[in-house]
Amino acid sequence: MKDLVNKFLSENDKSAIKARVRAAEKRTAGEIVVMVVSSSHRYPLANILGGILFAVVFGIAIALISGLETMWHFLGFFALSFVLCNEIIRRSFFLKRLFVTDSDMKEEVEEAAIGSFYKKEIYNTRDHAGILIYISLFERRVWILGDKGINAKIDPVVWRGIADSIVAGIKDKKQVSAICDAIDRCGDILEQHFPPGPENPDELDDAVIIGH
């Protein structure tokens, strides 16, 4: 799964994003973190549902073609087909997505983003002005979380607009420029409300966080 993230962002891409984060943070006391994951959840139920559906179809087809149409033969064909189809769906984002609802994906991405926000201690900055840009590739969703310091000053609709711009950029295969533009927009917001002081320590790592 990690290979999917590496295909999404090359090493040069990661370096460019890191440099853009560093430049944006020089203008503000806030912090910006970019995280990219292949998927926010494993969705095991999708593997099972898809495996059952395809196994029934293949089991019936094999039984009819082979002429072995008893229930016991069908169950054998079904079992073998289920094991194979379950494994194929587990490895195929395209097929798995057919068996996951939009509401489930939205919920899992939001939950994973919140979990990452706390796990990576983005909440633990001096001015509580950390921002997480969380990108989940399987779900094709972006979630932006601001800490309580910046959220007290910004309408959540602003974060949704920035997230949507990243999604649009990804669809156009311009993910790096879209992410960098989003970093600049977050930097502009932070600069307005949290300008840098005499001391402006870099409290969080600027490198892109890669998840699975």
Per-residue pLDDT of 127-148, as tens digits, reads 999 999 999 999 999 999 999 9
The architecture CATH gives domain 2-41+101-210? Roll (3.10)
Q: Is 144 helix (H, G, I), strand (E, B) or coil?
A: strand
Residue 90, Cα to own-chain centre: how many angstroms?
Answer: 17
Structural domain boundaries of the chain? Answer: 2-41+101-210, 44-97
pLDDT for position 198? 87
The answer, yes or no, to whether residue 2 has pLDDT greater than 70, is no
To the nearest whole percent, how much of the chain has pLDDT over 90? Answer: 88
pLDDT at 35: 98
Task: Note the pLDDT of residue 6.
Answer: 87
pLDDT of residue 3: 73
Q: What is the pTM of this model?
A: 0.91
Residue written as token pair 């001096």: 126
11's enclosing H/E stretch is helix 11-25
Beta bridge partners of 131: 32, 146
What pLDDT does residue 199 have? 86
Predicted local confidence at residue 69, as pLDDT: 82
Can you tell me the distance from the alpha carbon of 103 to that of 107, in angstroms, rounded to the nearest whole number? 6
For residues 22 and 14, is the Cβ–Cβ distance under 8 A?
no
List pLDDT tens digits, range 35-77: 999 999 999 999 999 999 999 999 999 989 999 888 888 899 9
Q: What does the pLDDT average to over 95-116?
A: 96
> What is the arithmetic mean of pLDDT over 92-102?
94
